[in-house]
Amino acid sequence: MEDSRNTSGFLRDHNYSTEADIISTVEFNPSGELLATGDKGGRVVVFQREQESKNQPHRRGEYNVYSTFQSHEPEFDYLKSLEIEEKINKIRWLPQQNAAYFLLSTNDKTVKLWKISERDKRPEGYNLKDEDGRVRDPATITTLRVPVLQPMDLMVEASARRVFCNAHAYHINSISINSDGQTFMSTDDLRINLWNLEVTDSSFNMVDMKPVNMEDLTEVITNAEFHPQHCNTFAYSSSKGSIRLCDMRDAALCDKHSKFFEEPEDPSNRSFFSEIISSISDVKFSHSGRYLMTRDYLTVKVWDLNMESKPLETYQVHDYLRGKLCSLYENDCIFDKFECVWNGSDSVIMTGSYNNFFRMFDRNTKRDVTLEASRENSKPRAVLKPRRVCVGGKRRKDEISVDSLDFSKKILHTGWHPSENIIAVAATNNLYIFQDKIN
């Protein structure tokens, strides 16, 4: 079905997992040439796809480490006596405008704009200092020369160009770059703020869900994203399972939504945990801008922007967990926030599950597949074998029973190349990159 190549591309290839190495976000850049990952330790690792070369066809399109930098450090909020985690919650790439690459990375409180640029030349032949940088004695200088740029080993530098801070009282869960290329928004549990990429000392509040009395709080914002084409439109999801579409032209404060998407709850499915499992953990516009995809604990839903009453399509990710919600609540897994992604043509959607499984749903053929990201199953050039979970009754030979699933191995973050069938799957502290090879 699908060729795969395992590129566990982290610098530290540990067998034991240190918590700082746990990947917390994965994002391809708009061209797909770069892939960024953020981890719990506040680091960002950027991979670059190798140029295809005739000399080494088998290494065509492999991703290798391009740059690593410490994006965020742990901080202490003295006023609230709280530690601010350095974990990178989201990374978003800016569209490329010149030779340098720009990305936004955020932790719970601060968004940073990073510039990643290459340096492959350096000036040599200074008059006032020698090659080691030591200052020359002016008395020894008898001639003047013009420094020339000489080639050097490629160096990739990352520098923080902007720091957007002090705008969020609650924890930032998402950032989204506007199609206008000039603004972006950052979202916490209760507020969405709009920034200009050039201005760090002020931001505009667009949505404020904080009630006058916090005891009246019933709903928080879980995610927000700008429409891919319409720079005036954005959507945000809530813990109640609804999505609101807002038009920034209506008013400065977008508390009133222009569209409200919510599916009425199925009363037969009601349980103690109905509120938890209906909370939306991710929302993504399709590349076309016509559809919205949402992920809650057990399903992925595709919504047509023109139909607010119910989703266009609903896909069961791991419905066999519905009967296990009590145990999943006990071990905290029920609070896991899974993300979801579209492929380039919006025909296939992908999301993660437990036991290092991830699922793909083909919207056209209605076929779905479960695959596993693990070292044992992913030797280079191996074909990934579909996995099956046995939901009851007799377990077949290659099936795995629900009770044997490893809930500590969860795939929360995945990425899909913007135009090709290349996917990045983060399994705790390992990154897997799979490619579809057409020979």
Partner 1 sequence: MDVTAEAKQIMVQALGKMYSSRSQRGGLRLHRSLLLTLVMKSARDIYHSARLMSEKSGQSVTEESTSHTQEPMDTSSSTATPLRETSGQSSEDGQRSGLEGHPHPLNPAADKENCSPSRPDRHSRKRRSKTATDSDFIPCKKAKLECAEVRGVLQNSSANCGRALDSLSLVPMPRTIVTF
Quickly count: other Cβ atoms within 10 Å of residue 260's Cβ.
11
Considering the complex, state which of residue 173 and residue 176 has its C-beta at the smaller distance from partner 1. 173
Considering the complex, state which of residue 107 and residue 370 has its C-beta at the smaller distance from partner 1. 107
Considering the complex, state which of residue 16 and residue 272 has its C-beta at the smaller distance from partner 1. 272
CB of 217 to partner 1, least distance (A): 6
Neighbouring C-alpha atoms within 13 Å toward the C-beta of 253 = 4
Where residue 81 falls (left for φ over 0; alpha for ψ -120 to 50; beta otherwise) is left
Considering the complex, state which of residue 215 and residue 266 has its C-beta at the smaller distance from partner 1. 215
**Rounded distance between C-alpha atoms, residue 172 and residue 106, angstroms:** 8
Distances (CA, A) of 86 to 41, 43, 89, 110, 169: 6, 8, 9, 10, 16
Asked whether 245 and 305 are in contact (CB, 8 A), the reply is yes
Considering the complex, state which of residue 334 and residue 427 has its C-beta at the smaller distance from partner 1. 334
**Rounded distance between C-alpha atoms, residue 186 and residue 176, angstroms:** 7
CB of 220 to partner 1, least distance (A): 5
CB of 210 to partner 1, least distance (A): 10
Binding residues vs partner 1 (CB under 8 A): 76, 78-85, 87, 108, 170-171, 173, 189-190, 213-220, 222, 239, 272-276, 279, 326, 329-330, 332, 335
CB of 79 to partner 1, least distance (A): 6
CB of 318 to partner 1, least distance (A): 19
CB of 429 to partner 1, least distance (A): 18
CB of 239 to partner 1, least distance (A): 6
Q: Is 232 helix (H, G, I), strand (E, B) or coil?
A: coil
Considering the complex, state which of residue 40 and residue 60 has its C-beta at the smaller distance from partner 1. 40
**Rounded distance between C-alpha atoms, residue 184 and residue 3, angstroms:** 37
**Rounded distance between C-alpha atoms, residue 231 and residue 314, angstroms:** 28
- The per-type count for the chain, helices as H runs and strands as E runs, is 2, 31
Residues forming beta bridges with residue 193, ordered by sequence position? 186, 205
Considering the complex, state which of residue 70 and residue 347 has its C-beta at the smaller distance from partner 1. 70
